[in-house]
Amino acid sequence: MKYNRVIVWFKNDLRLHDHAALFSAWKESSEIIPVYCFDPRQFGKVDLGIEKTGHFRAKFLIESVDNLRKNLIKAGANLIVRIGKPEELLPELAVEFQAEAIFFSEEVTQEEKSVEKNLENAVWKKGIETKTFWQSTMFHMEDLPFPVSQTPEIFTQFRKECEKFSQVRKSIEKPRKIKFPEIGIELGKIPELSTFGLSEPSVAKKGVLPFVGGEDAGIQRLQSYFWENDCLKTYKETRNGLLGPDYSSKFSAWLALGCISPRFIYEEVGRYENERKKNDSTYWMIFELIWRDYFRFISKKHGNKIFQIQGIKDNVDNWRKDEKLFRKWADGMTGIPFVDANMRELNATGFMSNRGRQNVASFLVNDLGIDWRWGAMYFESQLIDYDVCSNWGNWMYVAGVGNDLRENRYFNILKQANNYDKKGDFVRYWITELSKIPGFDIHQPSDLSTKELKQFGIALGGNYPFPMVKLGVKEKSRY
């Protein structure tokens, strides 16, 4: 054993399986002190008064930390929970409990890297080691066929090179019994939403899935989607759905907090291909995990540019800063039913389909011309599955300031609605005031006659807004 006692600092890696920092501490030390810090800087308000972490995301995080503690207890340990700045709390804990090192997972974006650097500086002065581990991606950073600084800007090139020259490492086994020091450590309570000034979310309507945070729930979701309901074999065909639990995997929420490992999913796909079926759908699950890797390495390559208005293309800032228009979009009151239904689902559940995200993002930036960063900040607050790299990378992509050869990705909303909600069932579910309109007409209430509107109980400008823009004018969409 190299160390007598090591702190393992959990961050966005709230699991025991395939956990490099935990496993290394288990192999290299006699005793482990697992710690999680709720950082107050991740809560509170940002621009436009938007909560940095909204109640759905905060609730999922609290559930995930609680589940981590329960699983550590089963393994013979426990979890120290604190509220405060990790770079201040962890050095104090290390000194108090005579830990010789702090092990943790490496992040890539500024806020997280700043905390890591300040922590390392603080403990170095006290003679305490730090050891970092890369474990947020499916392909390990050291196995890429190029330096991170030369990560291809185009996804297809990134994917092809990784598929040809890289291999996915085998996931790391879960530590057997973890030795926790018997020195009377104050464990700390897991906070409630009210601790951060947040209220319990009220779910007026059922969303696609009752998302519950934690490693156990993440693994159970995979078990259900792959093995019990056998949905993986049709994933590519159904993944653009809008209603119901199984049109897509919904793994993103558990991936975002590291409750489930991308390598574990990769291995389960391989097992499914061996035991059930191998087809385009099983490959497409891996394809989506490669997208996730891509955005993380692009974020590491470009640093703060992913948060700046000009993006990584250094485009000119010609965006509108109209808060009134933005609020209508955020509240699902644009008068464009397909946009509004998706935004209302997000506000009511903390989740939105991939197809929905692309459409509402395109509408905000391409139809309204609103600062794309406002949309990214709103998603950061609301989405249960918020992942800093994927969120900001995708918003740059749609806004035309990211990794795309085309200048913009304009989505023709009506064409999209016709492709993915032809009968209007999705809109009908989320916009009850329009529910009496039959068929596809529900997507264009402003095209109905005054008599028809009255018949369906709709007063445009009253119980449903007039459309903010006239759709169907732009014909440059390929989507």
> Which residues fall in the annotated binding site for FAD?
235, 248-252, 288-295, 385-387
Residue 326 contacts residue 379 (beta carbons within 8 Å): no
Residue 37 contacts residue 89 (beta carbons within 8 Å): yes
The single residue listed with the structure tokens 């990214």 is 376
Rounded Cα gap, residues 411 and 18, in angstroms: 39
> Tokens representing 427?
């809109």
Q: Which residues are annotated as a binding site?
A: 235, 248-252, 288-295, 385-387
133 bridge partner residues? 105
